[in-house]
Amino acid sequence: MAVDCSWEKVEAAFALRLPGEGRRLPILLASNPVNYAKQRKLSSLEALAASLYIMGFRERAGQLLSIFKWGPNFLALNNEPLAAYAAAGSEEELISAESEFF
């Protein structure tokens, strides 16, 4: 599931009780024009594509990102962190990889 809302309204959106377990993505850089190269300011599309990529659905992530002109740059901008996050076998390994990059 992806929640599509403005960063100005994110607190209200996440105050709702959403089903499932809460998780956060590891730190990545946005490639969207509004927040280019900012940490943790991903568009909904970038967040969904990052999740798919980390879970092993790289081709689908690329397909989704191709919707926008700036989308494919997300994978290039985050190539090394995404590969490390995808290779992590545990939460501890993921956190370690995250600290290497950010």
Is 5's pLDDT higher than 70? no
Average pLDDT over residues 88-98: 95
What is the arithmetic mean of pLDDT over 85-95? 95
> How confident is the model over 28-39, as pLDDT tens digits?
999 999 999 999
Residue type present at position 18:
L
Residue spans of the domains in the chain: they are 26-101
Tell me the β-bridge partners of 39: 29
Query: Per-residue pLDDT tens for 54-74?
Result: 999 999 999 999 999 999 999
Residue 17, amino acid: R
Q: List Cα–Cα distances, 28 to 15, 40, 75, in angstroms.
A: 23, 6, 10
Q: What percent of the chain stands above pLDDT 70? A: 84
Termini Cα distance of the chain: 26
Note the pTM of the prediction, 2 decimals. Answer: 0.82
